Structure formats: structure tokens, C-alpha cells
Amino acid sequence: MSDSRPTHPYGAWPSPISVDMVVGGSRSVGAVWPDGDDLYWLEGRPHEGGRQVLMLRTTTGEAEDVTPAGSNVRTMVHEYGGGAFVVRDGLIVFSDLRDSRLYTQRPGAAARPLTPEGPDRYADLRLDPARERVLCIHEDHTAEGEEARNSVVAIDLADGAVTTLIEGADFYSHPRPDASGQRLAWLCWSHPNMPWDATELWVGELGADGVSHHRRVAGGPGESIAQPEWAPDGSLVFVSDRTGDTELHLITLPGNAVTRLTTRAGVDGQPAFLPDGRIVYLAMVSDVATLRWLDPATSNVTHDIPTGAVVPSHPAPAR
């Protein structure tokens, strides 16, 4: 009796196990963001084409979708995105991948477009509540056939008017206003460098019309800097490979004195601050993401909690 089954080259036979069968029931969670007693996060849904939904868990313990049905809270700035939403006092600003526009929304209300239709993209969102605007990276794609232009901008929450704060470098990321709203930190780099080749950390005085007295405070050729965050005392913590390892460093302003906070072979990063000034960060230990609490005054680690995860997500103490 002959075998009527079709034959295929080695490695090319069809599998009865589809991609949907493997990932269709697994939702991802990331970008956790507290706002008072409420907690927001992004939920990735493979069964809905991988779209990202902004979720909210209130003090009642109920979790609910926030962003509209069909929306996809993502951004493709620098082609890989990041910082696609921000929340403060119940005001949500998010980027929708469907049209790359920014929208504003409050829980239970409809989303409203903030930026106009067009090819431009926005990322790394932060709110500037004193001036009622959102600070972000703006990627201008209007010049057809040319490379997109990057800048740091402020967008008025009332009318969507855009004020360019910083421009001139080829790429920008991580615009971070301090707690007073008077200073802004950011990262930049330019061709032919990639961010892991040479990055610069800058600080300037933030005003209504721009940024003045800006100066480079760290970084340069051969140093990669990432994830700057303002400490409660006005210093800056950032991740750098200046020692050969990826470690946390602290810079005291205005003197620009740099202190190495972590000293070990490995990868440390994603710093965030507790109200008492301690730093929560993620350390990769034996390929497992481990949460650590660090006292920046002494560099002592007071907690060391393996998460069991091999792909870390940013820790999110109250903001």
C-alpha cells in the first residue's frame, strides 16, 4: 500500500502547532505607572494582533481597559519606541500607533486628539503640570526622502501648540524634568554613533519658551549613558558603561562630581526612587532580574529580591 502523504524538504514540513496556539493565551504586562492610589500598566494582547492596551487598577481592586477599543498604545520613534504614555493626577497622554498622534484622556471619558494628523511621531512622554504641557521627543517625518529630524518639544495640553525646546543633535531621548519643573535633563547622540557607542547627558534650565544655560554634564566618545532620573535631592542618577560594566552612577550638580554607586561585573539599571531617597533598581544576577534597594549615601544594598524573570520591567515606586 503506497503512502499518499505529501513529502517536503527537511525542516520545511508544516507544523500542526501554530504561532497563535503558542502565544495566543499569553498576555504581557509592562510599563507599570502609579498615579496616587491608582496603578496603570500596558497589557499586550497577542490574540488582538499584539496591540497594547492601557489598563487601570483602582483602590477597589478592579482592573479595566482605559484606552479605546482598537487603539494601540505604542510609538515607533527611533523605530523601537518607548515611553508611549504618561499619567499624572488622572490625566493620561498616550500615543496611538494607528496614526502616531498623541491623545489625552481621563478614566471614564473619551480620548481626545492632541496633535494633528500627519507622519510625525512622539515618545518619552513626561508632563510639565506647572505649564500645562507635555514634554516629549518629536520625530519629524515631513521631509519626504530624508532622515527624520529629532528634537525635544513641549506640547500645550489646551491647544496642541508645539514649542521646540532642544534641537541640533541627530537623536534625543529621556527628557526628564526635575521635581521643581525648573531643570530638564536629556540624552542625545549623533551619527555615526549609536547610543551604545557614545551618548551625552545634558542639563538645562527649563522655561516657557525653551531651555537655557544647557551644558553637557556626562558622557561623550566611548561612553554609553542611559536612563537618567532625578533624585529627590536634585542630583541625577544614570546608567553608564564608563567602567566597562553597566552600572549606576550619581552626578551632583552644579559641580558635576560623579560617584559610582554600584561596583560589580554585570548589568545594573532602570533606577527609580523611593520617597526616602533610596534607589530601587534592577540587577541581572545569574541571568535573573533582581530588585535591589540602594542607599546612595553609603552604596549599601538593603534588599535583594530575585523576581524570577529573565526579561526585566522597570520598577515603579510612587511618582
Would you kindly state where each structural domain of the chain is located, as residue ranges? 25-234
- Bridge partners of 10? none
The grid coordinates of residue 49 equal: 494582533
**What is the average pLDDT score of the chain?**
89
What is the edge-to-edge ordering of all strands in the sheet holding 28-35? Answer: 28-35, 38-45, 51-57, 63-65
- pLDDT-derived band at 318, boundaries 50, 70, 90: low
Distance CA 295, CA 301 (A): 7
Tell me if residue 21 falls in helix, strand or coil.
helix
Residue predicted with more confidence, 136 or 301: 136
pLDDT at 304: 81
CB atoms < 10 A from the CB of 179, how many?
Answer: 13
> What are the E-state strand segments in 182-287?
183-189, 198-206, 211-221, 225-230, 236-240, 247-252, 257-260, 267-273, 279-285
Q: Does pLDDT of 20 surpass 60?
A: no
Average pLDDT over residues 279-285: 87
Average pLDDT over residues 215-240: 95
Distance CA 238, CA 227 (A): 6
Q: Does pLDDT of 23 surpass 70?
A: no
Summarised one tens digit per residue, pLDDT across range 144-190 is 888 999 999 999 999 999 999 999 999 999 999 999 999 999 999 99
Summarised one tens digit per residue, pLDDT across range 180-225 is 999 999 999 999 999 999 999 999 999 999 999 999 999 999 999 9
Eight-state DSSP code of residue 59: T
Global confidence as pTM:
0.87
Q: Does pLDDT of 3 surpass 80?
A: no
pLDDT at 283: 87
Grid cell 556626562 in the structure block, residue: 218
Eight-state DSSP code of residue 19: H
- Bridge partners of 306? 290
Tell me which amino acid residue 280 is: V
- pLDDT-derived band at 312, boundaries 50, 70, 90: low
Summarised one tens digit per residue, pLDDT across range 70-126 is 999 999 999 888 899 999 999 999 999 999 999 999 988 999 999 999 999 999 999
Q: Does pLDDT of 24 surpass 90?
A: no
pLDDT more than 90, % of the chain: 65
Q: Does pLDDT of 26 surpass 90?
A: no
Distance CA 84, CA 276 (A): 28
CATH number belonging to domain 25-234: 2.120.10.30
Eight-state DSSP code of residue 129: G
Count H helices and E strands in the chain, helices first: 1, 24
Lowest mean pLDDT: which of 19-23, 94-98, 276-280? 19-23
Lowest mean pLDDT: which of 90-94, 235-239, 260-264? 260-264
pLDDT at 256: 86
pLDDT at 176: 97
Cβ–Cβ < 8 Å for 123, 93: no
Distance CA 224, CA 107 (A): 38
pLDDT at 35: 93
Q: Does pLDDT of 140 surpass 90?
A: yes
Distance CA 232, CA 229 (A): 10
